[in-house]
Structure 1
Amino acid sequence: MATQISTSAGRDRFVGGALSRVDGPAKVTGLAKYAGEFSAENLAHGYVVSSTVAKGRITAIDVSAAEAVPGVLKVITHQNRPSVAGEAKAYQDMVAPPGLPFRPLYDETIVFSGQPVALVVAEEFETARHAASLVTVTYEEDTPQTDIAAIADEAYDPPKKRSGIKPPPKPWGDAGAAFDGAPIKLRQQYRIAHEHHNPMEPQASTVIVEDDGTYTVYDKIQGVANTQLYLTNAFGLKPEQVRCLSPYMGGGFGGALRPQYQLFLAMLAAQDLNRSVRVVLTRDQMWSFTYRPGAIQTVSLGTDGSGKLQAIRHDAVHGTSTYEDYQENIVNWSGILYACDNVELTYRLAKLDTPTPGDMRAPGAVTGIFALETAMDELACATGIDPIQLRLINYTETDPVEEKPFGSKALKSCFEQGAERFGWSKRSPEPRSMRDGRELVGWGMATGIWESLMMQSSARATLTADGRLEVGNSTADIGTGTYTILTQIAADALGLPMDHVTTKLGDTNLAQAPVAGGSWTAASSGTAVMKACRKVAEQAFKLARGMDGSPLANVDFERVVFANGRIEVAGDASRSVALTDVLKAAGKDKIEATESASPDKDFKKKYEAYTHSAVFAEVKIDEDLGIVRVTRVVSAIAAGKILNTKTARSQIMGAVVMGIGSALHEESVLDHRLGRFMNRNLGEYHVPAHADVHDIDVIFVEEEDKANPLGVKGVGEIGIVGTAAAIGNAIHHATGKRIRELPITVDKILAA
């Protein structure tokens, strides 16, 4: 089992506090640079020409008018695209699903609307953009199939499972017979629309050709190791030939886990022209890759009058592209969250003429928990049992799938504290029974769950003679506060002020770390940083104990603490030595250590680890107009140790806002005749605005967990899970109308 690691006798000074982000000043003053802002001498600019059809083949491309524009260097198409060394291999990356990754400008075949069909490279961006408008493409068009409902019966069980995504467990009991024999039965279909990532920063790549023939690449990515892997695979390069950096990111949400096609095109042009090239995608082009896939789900619940579940059946179908089998964990949650003796979970894919979907904040859980927790609310109404009580009746302290206890599960405390803060006891259970003037008032709740994960990660720590510490690795801060929490961990480990610690991230020259996603970064990189700092501390202590007349002579390492830039005997500050004096006496410029951290195999053998939440939502609805306001949300979170209550609270608040968007606003609208997402801009793709977001109250429930040495579980995903269901349940409570399709828009409320 994992043990706690401490180099300061367990005395955290910064970890657990509410500290402002160390990268905040750089971001608000504009000093922070993003992938599309790094420059280079002789930098050229590429602009992508996108296909206007969703399926077919290119029969002709006329680039003569574009090439005639002064300042245009080259127009690259599939007809003149230079060959690349890795052409015979698939352009694999760390998070690619099974299948053949998309290969830009590979041939004349069109497999999705908005597919890149040409790259115009020019001396200036404006020149490239203008010339791109002059490229004429002729197509032989086929009829696209983008309607999942039309081919749901053709959905299939993916033959090869995606790495890291567990397939549905084998059924247990006899869910069919138990459901048929249950006194109270519920069977409903639930749908969720396609949702697109819309970070403020678009996808961008700047490829700089160095004098020695190597490349420095700035990429919008949630892990530069993935950029490097992709480029070495696709172009047959060696890792030492490509240094990849992504120091800052203007929002990722999973959309930047995989390298996107602008990276390939920028490197292609840079190699072909032997000069540095930047390619930045437009907002419209951001609709031509990853998104949360729309899904059709059927949930069947059977119970007796007591509310005890006798049967759970959950089936999900969602779309994938024609070239990859993208998979999410959608139905498995229904086997984990509640105790039931008869469970059957099925999950299938449907091939669509669209880009491959991608991970979007809490992928799979947002989709599956919306269906399950809406169905549980419907069951609460059918049985006349309070929604919280129904969940407590079916509460489980063990994972029914793995048949192992949870390492920690404070969900009951989430229910209790969330309900108390929200005032749930004052809820009138009858729909349409609560009002505020002309508005109907509804209160709803739902449960949230997400995996608590840790990935193998490394980190380097360097203590210099001036008493300053540098730590870091190649992971990314995708806006979650990773720079800050790693600085806190390091400062506590060596007893230094925060401003004496510098954290570096997003550089393949640093210690290797996984992509930032899945809520695993704090546990993975945080533990690696702590271990690296401990190794530095041990080296410093050994040097200190060997100093002439050392006050630490004959003292064991476990008896000292690191505080105020000094090593001192615990309980006796008079016996201490400054770290700067230690290095000076040893004649060293620095002490350095690189350490790795891995998941605890013994813990995993005995326990399962998840974060949990209870989400409470209040809505007020204009009865005549059907306009919904989410006036209050209380989100009670059990996520182990909270490293920084300020940044963690911000993560939950942001996730709740995304949940409001999923519930009421976000929908990528497909025109099935064209096979094209039509609302490809922030004017027509609706996200919550300030006026849509009111009071959000976050509670961190105390919880101790031993899954990793830090005791953390991660908070990036859990805040969005269950939020849409809680809002939908509140809408039913307010109106008596059950809307089973997201987003819940005015027209659906009025038509119900």
Structure 2
Amino acid sequence: MSLQPQSAAGVGQSRVDGRLKVTGHATYAADHGAEDGVSNVKYAAVVDSTIGRGRVTAVESRAALAQPGVLAVISHLNASRLPYLDNSGSNNPPGTRLRVFQDDRVRFFGQPVAVVVAETLEAARHAASLVEVRYDAERPSTDLTKALADAPSTYARGNADSAWTSAPVRLEMTYKLARNHHNPMEPHATIARWDGNRLTLWDKTQWVVGGTQQELAAVFGIPQDAVRVISPFVGGGFGSGLRAWPHVTVAAVAARVTGQPVKLVLSRRQLYFGTGFRPAYTYHLRVGSDRRGRLAAMVHDIKAETSSYEKFTEAVMMPGQMLYSMDNVRQAYSTVPLDVNTPIWMRGPGYVSGAYIIESAMDELSYELGVDPIELRLRNEPANDESTGLPFSTRRLRECYAVGAREFGWHRRNPRPRSTRDGDWLIGTGMAAAVYDTARATAQAHTRLRADGTALVQSASSDMGPGTYTSMTQVAADALGLTMTTVEFRLGDSLMPPTPPHGGSMTMASVGSAVQDASDKVRRQAIALAVNDPNSPLHGVSTDDVVVRNGRMHVRNNPARGETYQQLLTRNNRPHIEVIGSYTPPEQDRFSMYAYGAVFAEVAVDARLGMVRVRRMLGVYDAGRIINPKLADSQALGGMVGGIGTALLEHTVTDHRDGRIVNANLADYLVPVNADIPDLRAIYLHGNDPEADPLGVKGLGEVVQVGVAPAVTNAVFHATGRRVRELPITAEALL
């Protein structure tokens, strides 16, 4: 933590970019135009495959090319060969990534098989509808329950099978989780422009440098610095922008073929197969305990969908390894290759799915034993991380339970299922624990203190909505001793210092620590210049005795003795002081570091119709230091909304005959809307985690969606007495 006064961080500051967004002046990927150097732009429309597996035998494009304004129709028949160099350092999973227009193979329904480029969007879309593609079709494999699985990844401690067999209390359950799609407000979009052998991309991305820039350089076999990526605003991502999807390459190919800048925006329908998704799971779990509820064993057999050409995995096993104390655990996690596009991380990746299983099972065990669900969890609290043997940096789940139970009124509930009614509605309450690992990665930031007393801070991060512009301004302002109005933070350009992906709840810890490092160093340089300047009021003072407030350096205990940055730099003819700061986490952690939470939900279920309504929800979080409580609330309440969707609404329906997603639209793929959202509240335990990073933060954006679905489904059981083990819970399952 900085010794500087902390007046900006820790306060609920409004978004510094809020006015731009609410007035429509924020430039998202498809919004860039002549003022940004993009003129005479052409438009691309992708032709998607209409089979789920097979080969393209013909692409008839004459009718499309005959349309006014059409410039080109590109497919594997006329596209140039691309190098597609290895890019395993990016977010590409193991396997062979989809190679745009490089062969006649169709690997999933909706795969890009051609692109039309035209003078207008309308002409491009109309011409795309006229492209006739013929296929040699095969029946695709899209059913997770029927396809063969890969060899599993495994984890074990103790002898879980034997311990389960001999346990006094045994449960055996199979859960199913549907595929979920991100559905951000802004569709994925790219504008591509070539200048000789240099490529500029205005792209919707959550990883400017290591994602889009690095991937497109590898695809085209050009130096990474020959690709510039610009992404100042992202209209929601939830993980969907963590890699460069095929449409980005399609836009770049179209721009190179036509010699013109090309804009490509995916339709809402195309988002369902043009980008990734949270994979579907079948999860078989055996739980054993003694009669007091002390866990003896858990045996996990997990199957998750992936594509036939890449093996996507996520941290679904982690909650089962470290959330509760037990000597015996066995896990087998298998991916099942299907004729679908590749999944990707979605908010709370792995942990949302894994915690749903664990927390549902703990609820089932609590009713089996007649033990309160919170008390059961307390009886199984570990003293350290039993998956690694490391001590926890902080783990305040007990406090989360206590605060949540008190604030929610947990102890007023009648524990007997189906015991509480409100007219035709059955009322139930449920709770669940939440956990997500504290991820950090190497990041850099550039801070420039200017002679007019203002500062510019830059880093190639993204901001998909959590408020990166604002929180980084807060950190820089405190480190520099400036007000927020005199600090400008810029992001979203690959020319800026590199950062890790904008996901995994690592941005505040990683980029924020780099911003603090750069800004601290600039402040120290200014102080050193002052104390060594015979003309400064601070001459001869120890640098450790100088602090900065509102741009004025002064002796800590003598505020009258000092001067402003502006006075110092002007007198010394210094236009600026600038530093590139950095943060690198230790190679090996000495502690187990996670953010935690306890989620409480009350639901009402119509006794005759089976409709479920969430009436109120509370989340209590141990997430380290909270830089901006207002932004934190935005994250927490949004995570709860997403979790309600997972629990009650969101699922993909696939026609297994041809691999088509039947409900690839927001009319049939249901997401929570205002009418679905109850009274939501979040509480953050005061404190910080000094072991995690220099800022003491643990990450909040992911953990707030973990635990929501099981809290809701556990409440549904308490209301109805019916245990549903398949998400989402539908009215049919309760009738």
TM-score (norm 1): 0.95
CA contact (8 A) 2:603 2:616 kept: yes
| Cα-to-partner distance string for 1:385-427 (whole Å, 9 max, x where unaligned) | 0000000000013110100111011111100001111000101
Residue 109 of structure 1 is matched in structure 2 by 105
* 1:93 to 1:264, Cα distance in 2 relative to 1, 3 A: farther
Q: CA deviation at 1:542?
A: 1.5
Residue 424 of structure 2 is matched in structure 1 by 438
Over the matched positions of the two proteins, sequence identity in percent amounts to: 42
> Of the candidates 8, 12, 17, which is equivalent to residue 18 of structure 1?
12
Residue 246 of structure 1 is matched in structure 2 by 231
CA contact (8 A) 1:495 1:562 kept: yes
Residue 27 of structure 1 is matched in structure 2 by 21
> Of the candidates 539, 548, 556, which is equivalent to residue 525 of structure 2?
539
CA contact (8 A) 1:199 1:250 kept: yes
> What amino acid sits opposite 2:540 in the alignment?
N
> Of the candidates 585, 597, 607, which is equivalent to residue 623 of structure 1?
607
1:652 maps to 2:636: yes
CA contact (8 A) 1:301 1:313 kept: yes
The alignment partner of 2:404 has SS state of helix
Q: Distance in 2 between matches of 1:367 and 1:129?
A: 38
| Cα-to-partner distance string for 1:54-112 (whole Å, 9 max, x where unaligned) | 0001111100000000110000010001233x24x246561111001111111111000
> What amino acid sits opposite 1:514 in the alignment?
P
CA contact (8 A) 1:315 1:331 kept: no
CA contact (8 A) 2:536 2:568 kept: no
CA contact (8 A) 2:438 2:699 kept: yes
Residue 370 of structure 2 is matched in structure 1 by 384
> What amino acid sits opposite 1:596 in the alignment?
S
1:276 maps to 2:270: no
Residue 449 of structure 1 is matched in structure 2 by 435
Residue 676 of structure 1 is matched in structure 2 by 660
Q: Distance in 1 between matches of 2:540 and 2:481?
A: 21
Q: Distance in 1 between matches of 2:253 and 2:732?
A: 47
> What amino acid sits opposite 2:21 in the alignment?
K
Mapping for residues 191-340 of structure 1, pairs under 5 Å: 191-210=176-195, 214-225=198-209, 226-288=211-273, 289-340=275-326
> What amino acid sits opposite 1:536 in the alignment?
V
Q: Distance in 2 between matches of 1:238 and 1:148?
A: 40
CA contact (8 A) 2:532 2:540 kept: no
Residue 361 of structure 1 is matched in structure 2 by 347
Q: Distance in 2 between matches of 1:146 and 1:353?
A: 6
Residue 52 of structure 2 is matched in structure 1 by 54
Residue 728 of structure 1 is matched in structure 2 by 713
Residue 178 of structure 1 is matched in structure 2 by 163
CA contact (8 A) 1:547 1:585 kept: no
Residue 674 of structure 2 is matched in structure 1 by 690
> Of the candidates 542, 552, 563, which is equivalent to residue 549 of structure 2?
563
Q: Distance in 1 between matches of 2:666 and 2:296?
A: 45
Q: Distance in 2 between matches of 1:649 and 1:218?
A: 30
Q: CA deviation at 1:239?
A: 2.5
The alignment partner of 1:425 has SS state of helix
> What amino acid sits opposite 2:27 in the alignment?
K
The alignment partner of 1:101 has SS state of coil
Q: Distance in 2 between matches of 1:340 and 1:95?
A: 34
> What amino acid sits opposite 2:135 in the alignment?
Y
1:38 maps to 2:32: yes
Mapping for residues 354-503 of structure 1, pairs under 5 Å: 354-503=340-489
Q: Distance in 1 between matches of 2:105 and 2:192?
A: 27
The number of residues matched between the two structures is 728
| Cα-to-partner distance string for 1:484-542 (whole Å, 9 max, x where unaligned) | 00000011111111111101001011111111000000000000000000111111112
| Cα-to-partner distance string for 1:591-622 (whole Å, 9 max, x where unaligned) | 10001101134xx4421100000000000111
> What amino acid sits opposite 1:631 in the alignment?
R
| Cα-to-partner distance string for 1:317-374 (whole Å, 9 max, x where unaligned) | 0011010010011122111000101111110111100001110001111111111110
Q: Distance in 2 between matches of 1:363 and 1:188?
A: 22
CA contact (8 A) 2:308 2:337 kept: yes
Q: Please, which moves more after superposition, 255-264 or 539-548?
A: 539-548
> What amino acid sits opposite 1:112 in the alignment?
F
The alignment partner of 1:82 has SS state of coil
Q: CA deviation at 1:213?
A: 5.2
CA contact (8 A) 2:445 2:458 kept: yes
Q: Distance in 2 between matches of 1:676 and 1:197?
A: 18
> Of the candidates 88, 97, 118, which is equivalent to residue 114 of structure 2?
118
CA contact (8 A) 1:191 1:742 kept: yes
The alignment partner of 2:136 has SS state of strand
Q: Distance in 1 between matches of 2:727 and 2:708?
A: 12
> Of the candidates 558, 567, 576, which is equivalent to residue 590 of structure 1?
576
The alignment partner of 1:120 has SS state of strand
Q: Distance in 2 between matches of 1:266 and 1:549?
A: 58
1:711 maps to 2:696: yes
Please tell me the root mean square deviation across aligned C-alpha atoms, in Å. Answer: 1.2
Q: Distance in 2 between matches of 1:599 and 1:740?
A: 39
Q: Distance in 2 between matches of 1:703 and 1:316?
A: 36
| Cα-to-partner distance string for 1:415-474 (whole Å, 9 max, x where unaligned) | 000111100010111001111122110000000000011110000000111111111211
* 1:62 to 1:253, Cα distance in 2 relative to 1, 3 A: same
Residue 536 of structure 2 is matched in structure 1 by 550
> What amino acid sits opposite 1:35 in the alignment?
A
Q: CA deviation at 1:298?
A: 1.0
Residue 2 of structure 2 is matched in structure 1 by 5
CA contact (8 A) 1:461 1:592 kept: yes
Q: CA deviation at 1:224?
A: 1.0
Give ranges in structure 1 of 5+ residues lacking alignment: 159-166
> What amino acid sits opposite 2:632 in the alignment?
A
Q: Please, which moves more after superposition, 551-560 or 300-309?
A: 551-560
Give ranges in structure 2 of 5+ residues lacking alignment: none
CA contact (8 A) 1:93 1:259 kept: no
CA contact (8 A) 1:457 1:598 kept: yes
Q: Please, which moves more after superposition, 26-35 or 271-280?
A: 271-280
Q: CA deviation at 1:304?
A: 1.1
CA contact (8 A) 2:289 2:297 kept: yes
> Of the candidates 142, 146, 151, which is equivalent to residue 142 of structure 2?
146
CA contact (8 A) 1:658 1:720 kept: yes
> Of the candidates 492, 504, 524, which is equivalent to residue 518 of structure 1?
504
Q: CA deviation at 1:206?
A: 0.5
Q: Distance in 1 between matches of 2:674 and 2:154?
A: 39
1:137 maps to 2:123: no
The alignment partner of 1:371 has SS state of helix
| Cα-to-partner distance string for 1:157-206 (whole Å, 9 max, x where unaligned) | 36xxxxxxxx653x111111111111111110001001111001111100
> What amino acid sits opposite 1:641 in the alignment?
R
* 1:479 to 1:594, Cα distance in 2 relative to 1, 3 A: same
> What amino acid sits opposite 2:47 in the alignment?
V
Q: Distance in 1 between matches of 2:368 and 2:578?
A: 63
CA contact (8 A) 2:531 2:542 kept: no
1:667 maps to 2:651: yes
> What amino acid sits opposite 1:18 in the alignment?
G
CA contact (8 A) 2:8 2:483 kept: no
